[in-house]
């Protein structure tokens, strides 16, 4: 069902989905479940049950409960958003599509695009890894084009490429050359699988993974 929209008679605001429909309590919060100030990015959550909601995931109730228990007292949508002073909400991407490095919000797509713009790169995916100093560090997984070979010089070239296009905060701390990337059947890279493998944790549901 629709949960955030611009209702008839309300002014539209470019980039904003709108406000929660009547009966739906949507908010933008930090990891502790506290509302963030207007204009500040945070996690998109639903604070209360809503009409037409699911009550479980068939055969995997523990997975369903994670949506309600990750952020205290809220249903976690898995998106990052911004709420303005009037309650209009802008969805800025999936939570796993943004990496915070030393306080800087860095989009995975931006770094991947910078890497792929190098003549030797066919595909790329990046993830954030926990770092005690920077909060996160960026690791890149790169597939090279046919005829190209991995080397330290190429790694340095890719680092320079990202630095030139995006700045020093977006530079990957690690670059790993791989032969394939985990994808859904529709071709979307599954970054959470890469991150789970890298950190040695459970990747969760793999039913959409293309083998």
Could you confirm whether domain 102-199 is CATH 3.30.300.30?
yes
Nearest to 28 by CA among 102, 85, 98: 85
Helix H or strand E encompassing 31? none
Say yes or no to pLDDT of 208 above 70.
Answer: no
Quote the pTM value: 0.60
The domain spans of the chain are 4-92, 102-199
Nearest to 75 by CA among 85, 67, 83, 63: 67
CATH class of residue range 4-92: mainly beta
Distance CA 10, CA 12 (A): 6
What are the tens digits of pLDDT across the range 118-140? 999 999 999 988 888 888 899 99
Find the mean pLDDT for residues 150-160: 95
What are the tens digits of pLDDT across the range 65-74? 888 988 888 9
What are the tens digits of pLDDT across the range 110-120? 888 889 999 99
């Amino acid at each position: 069902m629709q949960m955030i929209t611009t209702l008839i008679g309300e002014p539209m605001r470019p980039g904003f989905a709108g406000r929660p429909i009547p009966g739906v309590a949507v908010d933008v919060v930090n990891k502790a479940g506290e509302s963030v100030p207007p204009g500040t990015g945070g996690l998109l959550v639903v604070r209360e049950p809503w009409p037409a909601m699911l009550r479980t995931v068939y055969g995997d109730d523990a997975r369903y409960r994670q949506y309600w228990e990750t952020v205290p007292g809220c249903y976690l949508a898995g998106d990052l958003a911004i709420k303005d002073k009037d309650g209009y909400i802008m969805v800025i991407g999936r939570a796993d599509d943004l990496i915070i490095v030393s306080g800087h919000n860095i989009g995975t797509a931006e770094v991947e695009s910078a890497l792929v713009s190098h003549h030797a790169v066919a595909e790329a995916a990046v993830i954030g890894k926990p770092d005690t100093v920077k909060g996160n560090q960026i690791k890149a997984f790169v597939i090279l084009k046919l005829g190209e070979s991995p080397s330290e010089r190429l790694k340095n070239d890719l680092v320079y490429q990202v630095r030139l296009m995006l700045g020093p905060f977006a530079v990957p701390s690690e670059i790993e050359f791989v032969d394939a990337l985990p994808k859904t059947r529709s071709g979307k890279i599954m970054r959470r699988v890469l991150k789970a493998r890298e950190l040695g944790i459970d990747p969760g549901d793999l039913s959409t993974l293309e083998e």
